[in-house]
A and B are shown apart, each in its own frame.
Chain A
Amino acid sequence: MFKAILCRLIILWSAFVGCDARAQEVFQRLYINSGEYTAVDSAQFPFSAFNATPQFFPENVRISINAGETLKVRVVNNDSVNHAFQIKDKTTQVGIAPGDSILVTAVFDTGDEVFIYHDPMDYPRLTALGLAGLIHVKSNSNSTFYWNVKEFQKEWATQHALGNPVNWSDYYPDYFTINGRSNPNINNDAVARIVGGVGETLRVVIANTGQSIHSLHFHGYHAEIIYSSENSQHEGRSKDTFPIKPMESLILEIVPDKPGEYPVHDHNLVAVSAGGIYPNGMFLTMLIQ
């Protein structure tokens, strides 16, 4: 009897102060792994990633939580050198020695936001080496697709891995990826390739974890900017081309009005290449039935 009254009081108090007594905690384990990335043209270069297991995979974990949930991330440094972890605009930088781990806790109150987590140590060296992923704070159950947009300069990846400095004013990337893949392989990624129906509300969550500015052009449809991490005044704009700067994130919403297979690609047309070969870069198609 006493316990029931206490519970009811807690619920009433929670409703009064605006928080959710049922708020969930989401646990995520991230391993910092290093390995080799094999590009679409079979070129190989060093790559590091935040993976869900101690086994290296050249793609960062995508974290998706609901608004109001608390994220607890255990980050394990599975590498042989020092690393750090930070959720940009959310947590402070914390160093992690080789073999050590840290626990980072963050509360995400607002839905329809995207955060980038990354290794900020010696920025942007380790982020450029691959160590950056996205956290999507959901507010609805719309079909959602995820693009971690990242470009690389192959010859520099070895320097990044060795800890050598590079002259960023000479940056000239030659590999352009979405979720670690280039054309035509991006279309094989069910998380990346937009597939839906006419009239369906489709969302695309995009994070630019590279160091270049990209300008993503959609054929066939305009999309509305639902969220922009750097330019909230752009929210609500209906466009077909979306600039995204380094460490910026966007949520776009598309409601297709006709069926078809339409490309989406970087309109910096140099970025539609890999190793100097067109069209192996940042290019995929969406399929509307």
Chain B
Amino acid sequence: MRALLCILLICFGTTCLAQDPIQLIGRNTGKKLLSDGNEIRTFGFAQEIGENPGVPGPSLEVIEGDSVVIDFWNISQGAPHTIHLHGLDVDQQNDGVPHLSFEVHHMEHGFYRFKAPHPGTYLYHCHVVSSIHVQAGMFGLLIVRPAVGDNYTWEGGYNYWYESSLLMSEIDTNWHHDSVLLHDYDTNMSHHHVRIPKYKPQHFLINGLAEQQLDDLTIRGVNDGNLYLRLSNIGYFGNRIIFPSGLNARVIDSDGRPLPVEEVTDTLEILPGERYGVLAAPDSAFMDKVIVQYFNLNTGIVLNEQYVNVNIEDAAGIKESSKEVVRIYPNPATSSLTVEVGLQEAEIQIVDSQGRLILETSVTGSESFDIRNLPSGAYILSSRTALGIENHPFIKP
């Protein structure tokens, strides 16, 4: 009887801990519109069959302690693909390195299992002929959120009001020709000798965007609350991030671990594969830009700069509207999100965790929005009424 109870408890416990698999679909027929208007072929990850695989792929979010399963479905002829869980220190079988783990071939499913260890910012990317497949676009962010709550860096760490993620990379369009992308591959070999072209990128990206495409990307915050920046580099150049002095930025974590000694700085270098967490504590409202420089690792020469808008608003408006005018539900929201603004007219914006503007509209009374096509992740709905500004985080599971 006691044994049966134990088995039931174990089964129940397992069920509680297990999460629904995260679906990722590997494609090699992606198209990416560059800032100069040209379109290139990409490889990438999507979450729906008909979806163009984005560069970067969808940001994945899991909770510390979760038992995570990624169901990777490869729908792409040619070389197989894998998922390397960069920085998560998973076991060898789930590490995504072809000859040490497993490859996922066309129309196969591969299941990657891990327990989300430390809260922090990680990456995932294909590790098959990684020089080519990462450049091709097969990468994305993986965020492990702390069990103590979404708006904390980690248990015992910092609380923050706003969060933005910047994932840097570059594109050399010469690497996106079929002659490079569709390389030979012999599954029976542990080392697949593949020729790679010289790397001379022409496009320098933040979250897949560059130049005027970045106009819609804004780092938002308020002047009396912390703002947490997740900064990562998956390119083959170095990045130098220059923060506006008003952000009062300090580096608090790297590669998924808190720093033993925080570093107050207005300039941070991020090399390929690194991730940093930066806590900003602005003390005044301002609008400025974060500068992202891209420097050649062989020469140290800065080849390009990109700019990300920073908009720090006055929290007084928010404080004045301590009685919330806007209400959203349900949260988490799977298929629709209802926004109620009472008698007020509200300008609302929905931004994703990378600061990308998803929706901008005005609402009077009550309105429901279809969010079935919204990728899984964390979002913020900001509303502006005559009574002030409100921010409502919500989750799309």
Contact = CB atoms under 8 A, between A and B. Distances in A.
Interface string B93-114: 0010100100000000000000
Contacts of B257: 222, 237-239
Nearest to A214: B297
Nearest to B96: A219
Interface in A256-279: 257-263, 266-270, 272-273, 276-279
Contacts of A278: 129, 131-132, 192-196
Contacts of B288: none
Interface residues of B, number: 46
A98 interface: no
B273 A220 contact: no
A211 B296 CA distance: 12
B298 A172 contact: yes
A233 B91 CA distance: 31
A41 to B, nearest CB: 9
Contacts of A276: 195-198
B59 interface: no
Contact of B131 (A217, A220, A243, A270): A270
Interface size band for A: 35 or more
A208 to B, nearest CB: 11
Interface stretch (A9-17, A78-86, A163-171): A163-171
Nearest to B134: A269
B91 A260 contact: yes
Interface in B262-302: 263, 269, 271-275, 297-301
Contacts of A262: 92, 95, 97, 100
A199 interface: no
Interface of A: 168-173, 183-184, 211-215, 217, 219-222, 233, 236-241, 243, 257-263, 266-270, 272-273, 276-280, 285
29 contacts: A168-B299, A169-B301, A215-B271, A219-B84, A220-B89, A221-B89, A237-B254, A237-B260, A239-B254, A240-B89, A240-B255, A240-B273, A241-B271, A243-B271, A258-B91, A260-B92, A261-B92, A267-B271, A267-B273, A269-B131, A269-B236, A270-B131, A270-B236, A277-B195, A277-B196, A278-B131, A278-B193, A279-B191, A285-B100
